[in-house]
Amino acid sequence: MTQKEHPRLAAYARELRWALSALPDADRDSIVDEMRSHVLDRVDAGASVEDTLAALGPADDYASAFRDAYTVATSLSSGRTPHLLGALMRNVANSVSAAVAGIVILGAWMFTLMIGNVALLKISDPAHVGLWKSDHFFFIGIIDDPSTGRELLGPWLLPIALASLVISLLLTRWLAVWALRRIAPRR
């Protein structure tokens, strides 16, 4: 079959196979064979190879839909947070659920980063670092003159930063699974 194959179809099959290299061999072969079957059926019905391939779109674009679905499915089955987060980020532009989850996760990590930095500073300079309150200000960070305000957290800043880290990790995992399950077909 390959010897008689139309050069454009052979080239498209090669490009598609290459673009699907992340998928298991059996899946990749099946997708390429099905594309070939589709094109030849269209040609049998009177269409040209060129028009049929144009209707499928560029090989890489065509492959990306399979790749994305595979990434979501494998990250969900692996259950590993970095995989889940990677798959979530790749879908942020295509899914409202992924975008919402991404924004909440980003917010949680920005808060954790901020409170973590303050907690580290608290270790080296406990007198000037903390959550400060007076009649004129309320902030977390470093104060020039500790006598102008009252520090509210005291030694609790470090445990709170650690709790924030744990919550962010759990939230990242939970939201990524939630969003990816909404993207992937339910099993």
- Residues near another protein, by CB under 8 A: 27, 30-31, 33-35, 37-38, 40-42, 52, 55-57, 61-62, 65-66, 69, 73, 184-187
Residue spans of alpha helices (H) in the chain: 7-19, 25-44, 49-56, 59-78, 81-90, 96-124, 157-183
The least distance separating another protein from the CB of residue 184, rounded to whole angstroms, comes to: 7
In the complex with another protein, the residue whose CB is nearer, 42 or 173, is: 42
Contacts of 145 (CB under 8 A, 6+ apart): none
Least distance CB 85 / another protein (angstroms): 21
DSSP annotation string for 105-140 = HHHHHHHHHHHHHHHHHHHH-TTTEEEEE-SS-EEE
> Please, which residue, 46 or 155, has the CB nearer to another protein?
46
Q: Give me the least distance between CB of 74 and another protein, in Å please.
A: 10
To another protein, the closest distance from the beta carbon of 93 in angstroms equals: 16
